[in-house]
């Protein structure tokens, strides 16, 4: 497989290059070798993409919604047929183990294309009777949408944004993270192959500056960002200045609460999935694991035992269950947090170091006896670092779980169904789990409250964020004017 694409950008149905843009090296995180070099979008490239998107959107919006949907479902089918190639590329782009990318990336992108493809034909307005007069509403697209992606799920993020946007009749210019620029180009290729008119979905590479140029361009009607809360605030502010629509999928410091009656094996499994999958680089991770004091040591012992069974290695190999961090920069950020955890007095149960091998590997790490004020309990780390905190009673743990600026996700492990629903009902989070963690089916809304974001991706809810209603008052009788 060659990973150097035919061009850095994909605009108006074809690869485009402009070597005047800053170089973007694609570094394989497991070895540190450079696999390809792309270039950031210059102002000329950005202009080309937005011009193409604006022109294509006008025509795409005239298609019948069911015909639009058919293109998306065809693209979903192609993605599934090519899952192996796409998974290998995702592994090279991100460093995530192939056993993950085969089941969580192109497959979940295909789920989104299939779901919104199917939904497209049912997108309607309504008839509102007012006696003799009436109102009808028309669901209209927003226009040109900009999608800006993070580096942890490059294929999934491109599809989660493109599928509802395109189903509603919008066009999109997508800017992948500069750390993982390859996968979105494949999504663009597949959409064209499935029959999408050229210009409806475009990819422009670049760093934050390119993203900022896209966000502020007057031709853009909506911005959907997946990224850090700091970037979210900047992008939200820039969009607000022009009254543009936004969806913000940002970070979190989500709580997972394990009560004393929980099934310990399942709770440990949930904590592993919610902290170590994708080397911990998932926004909804349950990185504050509150464990009832009475079962704490039992929980920690089993957690350490199961964590020691992780296969850390080359992500291209089938048996590898933990790969490297996405980049050297991200590894260094996480190493900083490991130092802080140790310095602030947390008890290291396992891990805590970089691995002595090529690539950007950090051992899966568990800190116990973490207190609410420690840095590792307050800040999003975005690495394989689990903080285990103790608690005594329900009211106390709910208050502590909510004591964070974030509110993306939350989980509860207990066999008491009344308690499960009572506690979840009081947790401030957008995506919640009972006796599970981190499931994100396309049928369910996904997104955060508080500083974790604005709007929802996936489900019928996403349609509300990519369309707007026009209401039309129809008078059947005469107009009565005062003069």
Element (H, E) at 112: helix 106-119
Active site includes 193? no
Q: Is 249 a catalytic residue?
A: yes
Task: Kindly tell me which of 153 and 299 has the beta carbon lying closer to ligand TXE.
Answer: 153
Taking the complex as a whole, the smallest distance from the CB of residue 453 to ligand TXE amounts, in Å, to 9
Task: Work out whether the CA dihedral 354, 355, 357, 361 comes out positive or negative.
Answer: negative
Do residues 149 and 102 touch, judged by C-beta distance below 8 A?
no
93 is in an annotated binding site: yes
Say whether 305 is catalytic: no
Query: Minimum distance between the CB of residue 472 and ligand TXE, rounded to whole angstroms?
Result: 36
Nearest to 450 by CA among 395, 418, 408, 411: 408
Task: Provide the 3-class DSSP secondary structure of residue 260.
Answer: coil
Catalytic residue among 183, 189, 249, 253: 249
Catalytic residue among 90, 114, 189, 457: 457
Torsion of CA 73, 75, 320, 356, to 10 degrees: -130
Query: Least CB distance from residue 364 to ligand TXE, whole Å?
Result: 17
- Catalytic site residue 159? no
Checking phi first, is residue 265 left (phi over 0); if not, alpha (psi -120 to 50) or beta?
Answer: alpha
Helices (H) and strands (E) in the chain, counts: 16, 20
Instruction: Tell me: is residue 134 an annotated ligand-binding position.
Output: no
Q: How far is the CB of 213 from ligand TXE (least distance, A)?
A: 8
| Whole-angstrom distance, CA of residue 12 vs CA of residue 203 | 9
Q: Is 453 annotated as a binding residue?
A: yes
Q: Is 16 annotated as a binding residue?
A: no
Q: Tell whether residue 60 is among the known ligand binding residues.
A: no
Q: CB of 462: closest distance to ligand TXE in angstroms?
A: 17
161, 222, 244, 296: the active-site residue: 161
The answer to whether 385 and 343 have CB atoms below 8 angstroms apart is no
The helix or strand, by DSSP H or E, that contains position 401, with its residue range, turns out to be: helix 394-402
- How far is it, in rounded angstroms, from Cα 222 to Cα 335? 36
H-state helical runs in 168-307: 183-193, 208-216, 229-241, 264-276, 296-307
| CA gap 439, 108 in Å, rounded | 11
- What token pair was written down for 15? 């690869």
Q: Where are the beta strands (DSSP E) in 102-153?
A: 127-130, 133-141, 144-148
Is 178 known as a binding-site position?
yes
Residue 151 assigned ligand-binding role: yes
Residue closer to ligand TXE by CB (options 86, 225) is 225
Nearer to ligand TXE, 52 or 204 (CB): 204
3-state SS class at 311: coil
Catalytic residue, candidates 100, 283, 296, 350: 283
Tell me how far, at minimum, the Cβ of 151 lies from ligand TXE, in Å. Answer: 5
Minimum distance from residue 153 beta carbon to ligand TXE (Å): 8
The answer to whether the annotation marks 175 as part of a ligand binding site is: yes
129 is in an annotated binding site: no
Shorter beta-carbon distance to ligand TXE: residue 119 or 188: 188
225 or 271: CB nearest ligand TXE: 225
Q: Which positions lie near ligand TXE, rule CB under 6 A?
A: 148-152, 175, 177-179, 207-208, 211-212, 215, 226-228, 231, 234-235, 250-251, 283, 330, 333, 380, 382
Token pair belonging to 474: 């129809």
321-352 b/e with 16+ CB inside 10 Å = b?
bbbbbbbeebbeebbebbeebeeeebeebbbb
Q: Using the Cα atoms of residue 270, residue 271, residue 277 and residue 282 in order, give the sign of their dihedral.
A: positive
- CB nearer ligand TXE, residue 231 or residue 438: 231
Instruction: Choose between 141 and 181: whose C-beta lies nearer to ligand TXE.
Output: 181
Binding-site annotation, residues = 27, 93, 149-151, 175-178, 251, 283, 380, 450, 453
The catalytic site residues sit at 161, 249, 283, 457
Residue numbering of the annotated binding site for NAD(+): 149-151, 175-178, 251, 283, 380
């Amino acid at each position: 497989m060659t990973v150097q694409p035919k061009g850095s950008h994909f605009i108006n149905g074809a690869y485009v290059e402009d070597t005047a843009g800053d170089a973007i090296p694609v570094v394989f995180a497991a070895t540190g070798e450079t696999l390809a070099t792309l270039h950031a979008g210059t102002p000329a490239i950005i202009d080309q993409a937005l011009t193409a998107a604006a022109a294509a959107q006008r025509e795409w919006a005239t298609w019948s919604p069911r015909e639009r949907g058919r293109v998306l479902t065809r693209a979903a089918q192609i993605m599934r047929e090519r899952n192996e190639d796409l998974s290998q590329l995702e592994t090279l782009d991100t460093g995530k183990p192939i056993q993950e990318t085969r089941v969580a990336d192109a497959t979940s992108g295909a789920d989104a294309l299939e779901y919104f493809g199917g939904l497209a034909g049912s997108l309607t307005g309504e008839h509102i009777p007012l006696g003799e007069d009436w109102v009808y509403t028309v669901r209209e697209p927003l226009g040109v949408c900009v999608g800006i992606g993070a580096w942890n799920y490059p294929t999934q993020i491109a599809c989660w944004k493109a599928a509802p946007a395109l189903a509603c009749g919008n066009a999109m210019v997508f800017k992948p993270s500069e750390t993982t620029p390859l996968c979105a180009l494949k999504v663009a290729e597949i959409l064209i192959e499935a029959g999408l008119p050229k210009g409806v979905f475009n990819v422009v590479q670049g760093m934050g500056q390119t993203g900022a140029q896209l966000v502020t361009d007057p031709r853009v009607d909506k911005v959907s960002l997946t990224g850090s809360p700091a970037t979210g605030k900047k992008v939200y502010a820039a969009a607000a200045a022009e009254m543009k629509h936004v969806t913000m999928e940002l970070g979190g410091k989500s709580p997972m609460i394990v009560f004393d009656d929980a099934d310990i094996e399942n709770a440990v499994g949930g904590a592993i999935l919610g902290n170590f999958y994708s080397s911990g680089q998932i926004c909804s991770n349950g990185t504050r694991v509150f464990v009832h004091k009475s079962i704490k040591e039992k929980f920690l012992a089993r957690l350490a035992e199961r964590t020691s069974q992780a296969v850390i290695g080359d992500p291209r190999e089938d048996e590898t269950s933990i790969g490297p961090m996405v980049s050297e920069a991200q590894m260094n950020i996480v190493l900083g947090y490991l130092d802080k955890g140790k310095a602030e007095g947390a008890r290291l149960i396992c891990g805590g170091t970089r691995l002595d091998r090529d690539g950007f590997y950090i051992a899966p790490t568990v800190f116990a006896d973490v207190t609410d004020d420690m840095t590792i309990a307050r800040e999003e780390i975005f690495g394989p670092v689990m903080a285990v905190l103790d608690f005594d009673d329900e009211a106390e743990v709910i208050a502590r779980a909510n004591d964070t600026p974030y509110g993306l996700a939350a989980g509860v492990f207990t066999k008491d169904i009344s308690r499960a629903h009572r506690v979840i009902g009081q947790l401030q989070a957008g995506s919640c789990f009972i006796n599970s963690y981190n499931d994100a089916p396309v049928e369910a809304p996904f997104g955060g409250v508080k500083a974790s974001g604005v709007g929802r991706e996936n489900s019928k809810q996403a349609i509300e964020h990519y369309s707007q209603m026009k209401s039309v008052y129809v008078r059947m009788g005469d107009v009565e004017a005062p003069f």
